[in-house]
Amino acid sequence: MQTAGTRLIGLILFLVWLASPVRAGELAVSTDFPGGSAEVVEIDQRGRSITVRPAGDPQFGWPCWWYFKVTGVKPGETLTVTVDGSQLKQANGQKLSASWALPERAAFRADGTNWLQTSPGTRDGDRCCWTQQVDSGQAWFAWGPAFVPADAQTLVDQLSREHEDVTAFELCKTRAGRSVPALVVSQTDANAEDRMVIWVQARQHAWESGGSWVGRGFIEWAVSDDPLAVALREKADIYYVPIMDIDNVATGNGGKNQVPHDHNRDWSETPRWNAVQAAMKSLKQFDDQNRLVMFVDLHNPGANSKQPFFYIAPPELNTNRRKALQDAFIAVCREEMQKPLRLDRSTPSTGPKYDKRWKEISSNWVRSATREHVVGITLETCWNTPHSNPRGYMTVGRQLGRGISRYLKQDPREPRDLN
């Protein structure tokens, strides 16, 4: 038989439960973390389904990125997640195709670290729906595997601690005051002034998270015991920047075509973005020292691309020697990039018909501002495949590294047979 005191305690606990903003087993969505971005349209508690829209500000780039956390999950239950891309707009007010925001497979994680993929979703016009069993009380869903500023800092710090030839440094502070982490792999010796320099960077477009994972695969390979990595370190200094547009990555904005222009349209005499300015300064210095031999910019392409591919130099910036060296590099990469993602034989260029600011694209600036032997190139790794996950991306990064090492077996600064 209950006493008055027991009933009072029960009443108090019941009132506390009623006042709680999220009851046990009640689904809730949050985006209050770096990279988070989503507008909740509907949460159906009975149907255990969630509908969201991408919430990026078009002034800060295409609003195709979305990333949110779900709590109140009953471990073992199946959630239904729908993303509505019908209202996507660019900064100029024009509609943005929903395809940019609707991957065939969404990214998800339940343990806080390991990003996986859902099964293929069901597309209905400008909406896509995925179902996923979640075996914990919370889960994160995203357009692709997130790689945020803390991931970049952790990566460069960890490699710096673990390898004596690796030094973490700050490329710059952004306009918003955030640090842009970077690292250099360098075996200093008596011939330091003659060592080649390789520069690899990712995420000039913030939403293209796959680029950072490709970069991570590359740089972790570069410090490995693979004989080709060892040989590369013996002759070249390797500079790596995991995230260039770190402000938009942190705030969950897309970055692509932001106002007045994005990072990859900023490589001019008066760059707006601090990371671009710092990169240009370093690259020009290395070229003045006749040390720069390669620049690789890592991106993700459109939804219909199912194989990685290189954007190559347009005819307006090519010479016979530059083209021959570029072709030689792509040839060895084609031999390395076989599985799980085969390098496409298509090699489009970024000339005047590609963009009105084509001369201010990073690889084009490198081609026009550095010596003829420097290969400046953009690698686009497909994001809309069953292998567009950390494992697949990082495999491409390792294969890229092997291609670079094989290409540099002969110093491109020296005369070579280009026939």
Spell out the domain ranges in the chain: 18-142, 149-407
Both tokens of residue 97?
């195709």
Q: Which CATH code for domain 149-407?
A: 3.40.630.10
Tell me the fold of 18-142.
Immunoglobulin-like (2.60.40)
CB burial class (10 A; 0-12, 13-18, 19+) of residue 290?
middle
| pLDDT recorded at residue 9 | 52
CA gap 68, 142 in Å, rounded: 6
Express each pLDDT in 276-299 by its tens digit: 999 999 999 999 999 999 999 999
Residue 37 has what DSSP assignment? Answer: B
Both tokens of residue 29?
């969505």
| pLDDT recorded at residue 419 | 58
Nearest to 317 by CA among 355, 271, 378, 366: 366
Question: How does DSSP assign 182-203, residue by residue?
Answer: EEEE----TTGGG-EEEEEEE-
Report the 10 Å Cβ neighbour count for 339.
Answer: 9
Q: Residue 113: how many CA atoms within 13 Å on its side-chain side?
A: 1
Phi and psi for 81 in degrees, rounded to 5?
Answer: -120, 125
Express each pLDDT in 237-271 by its tens digit: 999 999 999 999 999 999 999 999 999 999 999 99
Express each pLDDT in 143-164 by its tens digit: 999 999 999 999 999 999 999 9
72: left (phi over 0), alpha (psi -120 to 50) or beta: left
**Comparing 18-142 with 149-407, is the CATH topology the same?**
no
